[in-house]
Amino acid sequence: MILSYTEVITPAVPDVAAVLAEVKAALHVTHAFEDELISRLLGVSVLWLEQYLGRELLTKTVRTWFQGPDHHFMDTYAHPYARPTEDLTLPRMPVSSVTAIASYNDANTPTTTPATSYRITAPDRDQLTTVRLTMGSSWPTDLRNLNALSVDYVVGTATDIASLPEDMQQIVYMMVSWLYTNRGGTCDQALAQSGAMAFLSGYRVLRV
């Protein structure tokens, strides 16, 4: 199936309360009137890192839509991993679970796909997860062309900033420190000029 687009249906809401005091101490901030600013910098840094790294850090539920088998490939947004096939390659990673798959016919009637009809393949943490039909199973034959299948799945590994790996927390704190000091600076500048880039070699996913 051809990838259409992905939407977030249960967004991550970064819980900064558990780390705010630690970050303020590192910044030598003893007052409270900039707590909102520092909290916002924490949230923005995490969300920007997710985009930069090509992987989800905080857990969230997303929904990816796939076109029907008769939808012309050249009419879709041509992701490098979108190919006409019965497999469903999920563009977000890492995937912890697939919670629902639904198909839609021309009458826009949804049908839930039983979990016994498919299996999940994820070779390792740096590769995309694929939903593959089990032997003897097939997608419905009356699929509509546009957004015929939807897959709901949970991505990310940490429930909040405090539960991120220690090196990732350090990256976030270094970026926040730089952004707090250099008002008006950007996240890419913070990553490059704070020294945080040195910690990222094992995290970024490059796709060809």
Confidence grade of residue 206 (pLDDT, cut at 50, 70, 90): low
Sorted by where each begins, the domain ranges of the chain are 13-56+159-199, 60-155
Mean pLDDT for the stretch of residues 104-127: 87
The confidence score (pLDDT) of residue 75 equals 40
Cα–Cα distance, 56 to 62 (Å, whole number): 11
* pLDDT at residue 123 tops 70: no
* pLDDT at residue 90 tops 90: yes
Least confident of 70-74, 141-145, 200-204: 70-74
DSSP one-letter string for the chain: -EEEEEEEEE------HHHHHHHHHHHT---STTHHHHHHHHHHHHHHHHHHHTS--B-EEEEEEEE-TTS-GGGS---TT--SSSSEEESSS-EEEEEEEEEEBTT--EEEPPGGGEEEE-SSTTS-EEEEEPTT----TTB-SSS-EEEEEEE-SBSSGGGS-HHHHHHHHHHHHHHHHSTT--HHHHHHHSSGGGG-TTT-----
Rounded to two decimals, what is the model's pTM? 0.83
Angle at 165 between CA 89 and CA 13, to 5 degrees: 70
